[in-house]
Structure 1
Amino acid sequence: MYGEPKRDRKTERRERTREEILDAAWEIARAEGLAGLTLRDVAQRVGMRAPSLYSYFASKHAIYDAMFAQGWRRLLEGYGEMPLTGHPLADLKSMTRYFLEFSTADPARFQLMNQRTIPGFEPSPESYALAVKCLDLARERLAALGLDDERTLDLLTAINAGLASQQIANDPGGDRWTRLADEAMEMFLAHVKNRRTSDE
C-alpha cells in the first residue's frame, strides 16, 4: 500500500538467523550444560560452518551475552504482566512462586542468569542493564508494599535464589524446595515486621 514503510528484509533475515542460533545454543546448553556449548555444535545445528557464526556473533561469549539478555528480558516481561493485589503476603507469595517456576523450568537459563558458571564471561552493560531493571522492579514492588529498604530486598533475593538453587541441584523436576515458597514468605514477612518493631 502506498505510503507504508518498506520492510528491511535483509535485517529481518539476519534477526531470524540470530534467533535460530540462540535457539540452538539453548538446546545444547540444556543438554550438555553451559560449559558444553561449542561454536562448532551450534553451527552444525543451524546448518552452517562455524566461521560463518562470526557474521552474527563476535565470539562464544557474545552468544552467552545474548542468551543472558534473553533470560532477563523474559523474566522482566513476566513480572510486568503479573497482577498484584496490594496485600503484602499474597503478593510476596505470587512473586516468589513465579520466580521459582521460571527458574526451575530451565536450570541452564537460571545458572547463566544468576551464577558465575562460565569462566571469563561478563555480561555486556546493555545485557546487565536488564538484570538491574528487573531488580529495580522488585524494589518498586516491595516499596509499594511498604518494604522499602535495601536490606529487605537483599534478604528476599537471597531466599528466592537459595530455594531455586536447592531445587535445581538436589531435586530436579521435583518440588522439595519450591513447595516451601509460601512458608518462606510467611517467615520473611514476619521477620521484617519484627525487625522494624525492634528498631523503633
Structure 2
Amino acid sequence: MASTYSQADRRSARRARTIEDALDAAEAIMREQGVGGLSMSEVARRLGMRQPSLYKYFSSLHALFDALFARGLARTDAAVTAAIRRRPPGVPRLRAGARALMRWAVENPALAQLLYWRPVPGFEPSAETFAASRDQMATVRTELAAAAGSGQLRAAAATDEALLLYTVVISGVISQQLANEPGASFAAGRFSRLTDEALDMYFARYAPAGGTDADPRP
C-alpha cells in the first residue's frame, strides 16, 4: 500500500513540475513575442513534447492563460503582502502596497499585461481564478476603511469611489509605463518614477482638513 501511495505521489509531483515548466515557457514566450504570441504548439516545442500531450495539462489555450492569470495574481499578492507586513494599517499599507504592485508590474510586463489589459480576444479568467482578485480588492477596501476610521483620511475614503480611484491611479501608472517605455526599470521609467507623486495626489484628495499624509514618502 505504501508503495502505491509513493507512486501516486511521484506522478503528482511530475505533473506539478510539468505544469510549472509549461507556465515558465509560456511566460518566456509572452516576454519575447507579446501576449498574443503565445501558442500551445510553441509551449509544447519548448518542453520537448508533442502538442497533444500538452492538452493533458491544459485543456485549451484559454486554460493556459487562466493558469498564467492565477500565477500573476499569486505573485502580486506575495509582493504586496511582503511590502505591507510591517506597516501600520491604513495609509502606510495602502502606499506601500501600491508601490510594490507597480514595481512588480514593471518588472513582470508579460503577466502584468494579462492582469491589467485585455490582450487576448475572448479570454476572461475563470470565476475560481478571479476570486483572488476580489480578495485583493477586499483587502484594499479594508485598509481604506481603517484609514478613514482612524482619521488618516476623510470618511469619503471608505467609499466605492475611493476604491475605484485607487485602482485607476495604480493601473494608470502601470499602463503608461508598459505602453510607452517597456523595458525601463521601475526607478528610471518616465512614468513609474512618478509613482509617489501620483499617490500623493490620491491621498491629498481624501486628506482630512488640516491633516497631513500619515505615511509621508521619502
Query: Which whole-Å CA distance do the structure 1 matches of 2:52 and 2:42 have between them?
Result: 12
What displacement does 1:87 show? 6.9
1:168 corresponds to which residue?
178
TM (norm. structure 1) is 0.89
Task: State the match for 2:61 in structure 1.
Answer: 60
Q: Using the alignment, how far apart are the partners of 1:191 and 1:84 within structure 2? A: 25
Aligned counterpart for 2:169 among listed residues 159, 165, 174: 159
Deviation at 1:19, TM superposition (A): 0.7
Paired position in structure 2 for 1:189: 203
**2:113 aligned residue (100, 111, 114):** 111
Q: Establish whether residue 36 from structure 1 lines up as the match of residue 46 from structure 2.
A: no
Superposed CA offset, 1:150-195 (max 9, x none): 1111001101100111111112214211121111222111112369
Per-residue CA distance 1:44-86 (angstroms, 9 max, x = gap): 1000011111111100110000000000011112222323533
Which of 119, 140, 147 does residue 138 from structure 1 map onto? 140
Letter in 1 for 2:55: Y
Does the aligned pair in 2 maintain the 1:142–1:153 contact within 8 Å? yes
CA contact (8 A) 1:25 1:42 kept: yes
Note closer, same or farther for the CA distance 1:142–1:83 as it changes in structure 2 (3 Å cut).
same
| Contact 2:91 2:143 (C-alpha < 8 Å) held by counterparts | no
Determine whether 1:178 maps to 2:192: yes
2:102 maps to 1:100: yes
Is the partner of 2:206 in helix, strand or coil?
helix
* Structure-1 residue corresponding to 2:9: 8
Structure 2 residue ranges without an equivalent (≥5):
149-156, 210-218
Q: Which amino acid aligns with 2:20?
A: E
Matches of 1:52 and 1:91, distance apart in 2 = 45
Separation (CA, whole Å) in 2 of partners of 1:64 and 1:87? 34
Counterpart residue type for residue 52 of structure 1 = S
Q: Which residue of 2 aligns with 1:76?
A: 77
Secondary structure of the 1:48 match is coil
Moved more, 63-72 or 163-172: 163-172
State the SS of the aligned residue for 1:145. helix
Unmatched 5+ stretches in structure 1:
196-200
Residue identity over aligned pairs, in percent, reads 39
Separation of aligned partners in 2, 1:89 and 1:130: 22
Superposition CA RMSD, Å: 2.1
Across the two proteins, how many residue pairs are aligned to each other? 193
Contact 2:106 2:174 in 1 (8 A): yes
